[in-house]
């Protein structure tokens, strides 16, 4: 998963970003609304963690514009405001959840998982396809009953492909989803990760097809 964290408190942002990365996800950090807008103009995110009081404006205005553009990326509000009216107002604007500072990081992680499950339309986390059973939350993959150990980016790559079988992903799109904006990534790195994942999937009916000049596509026979 790829997260966008919009938070001007550097200490809190560092703590949240560290926890997200330890879970194997990718995170971009914006310190203000202008940076957040720039990130969204060029990138695609699975979840936005949004502070309200930011140096260049109110996060709720950003949220309202975000929804008015028809973008349905889940948003969790992070704020010190705890009044019921604030929570209701944010939810009415299109927020998916609301976490009051200070918060326990384990609670934030649980809320992120819950919002992402709701976004997928189901509380079911495991994906079954072509002899594969994959749980992206637990980072668990088994192929025909045999447990396979994957590295973090291999897990996230598989999650992307299984989330959209038949969709063609360019190398640039995969790099955008697997790495943060500040990472220096070559096309060769993407080829390496795809190659490793292909080897893991050899015992299944799932394969990653290369489309020259276009990218990669997940195909399955059952």
pLDDT of residue 123: 45
End position of a domain, from candidates 62, 90, 120: 120
Q: Which residues of the chain have pLDDT under 70?
A: 82, 120-125, 137-138, 222
Statement to judge: residues 115 and 47 lie in one domain: yes
Residue 21 shares a structural domain with residue 91: yes
137 shares a domain with 95: no
Same domain as 174, residue 89? no
Q: With H, G, I as helix, E, B as strand and everything else as coil, classify residue 139.
A: coil
CA distances from 64 to 49, 58, 95, 169 (A): 15, 10, 9, 30
Domain count, the chain: 2
pTM for the full model?
0.73
Residue 68 is part of which domain span? 2-120
Residue at which a domain ends, from 63, 91, 120: 120
Give, in order, the Cα–Cα distances in Å from 7 to each of 30, 139, 191, 216. Answer: 6, 27, 34, 34
Q: What was the pLDDT predicted at 127?
A: 85
Q: What is the pLDDT of residues 161-189, one digit of tens each?
A: 988 899 999 999 999 888 888 787 888 89
Same domain for 131 and 115, yes or no, is no
Q: Are residues 116 and 22 in the same domain?
A: yes
Instruction: Look at residue 52 in the predicted model and tell me its pLDDT.
Output: 92
| Rounded-to-integer distance, Cα 158 and Cα 156, Å | 5
pLDDT at position 33, please?
96
Helix (H, G, I), strand (E, B) or coil at 62: helix
């Amino acid at each position: 998963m790829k997260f966008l964290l919009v938070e001007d408190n550097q200490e809190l942002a560092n703590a949240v970003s560290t926890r997200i990365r330890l879970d194997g996800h990718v995170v971009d950090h914006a310190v203000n609304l202008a940076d957040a807008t720039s990130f969204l103009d060029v990138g695609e995110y699975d979840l936005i963690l949004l502070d309200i009081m930011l140096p260049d404006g109110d996060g709720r205005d950003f949220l309202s514009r975000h929804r008015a553009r028809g973008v349905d990326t889940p948003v969790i509000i992070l704020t010190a405001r705890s009044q019921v009216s604030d929570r209701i107002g944010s939810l009415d604007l299109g927020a998916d959840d609301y976490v009051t500072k200070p918060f326990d990081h384990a609670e934030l992680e649980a809320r992120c998982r819950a919002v992402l499950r709701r976004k997928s339309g189901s509380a079911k986390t495991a994906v079954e396809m072509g002899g594969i059973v994959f749980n992206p939350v637990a980072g668990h993959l088994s192929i025909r009953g045999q447990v396979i150990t994957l590295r973090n980016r291999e897990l996230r790559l598989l999650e992307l492909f299984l989330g959209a079988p038949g969709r063609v992903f360019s190398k640039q799109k995969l790099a955008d989803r697997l790495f943060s904006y500040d990472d220096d990534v070559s096309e060769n790195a993407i080829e390496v990760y795809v190659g490793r994942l292909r080897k893991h999937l050899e015992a299944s009916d799932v394969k990653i097809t290369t489309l020259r000049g276009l990218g990669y596509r997940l195909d399955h026979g059952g």
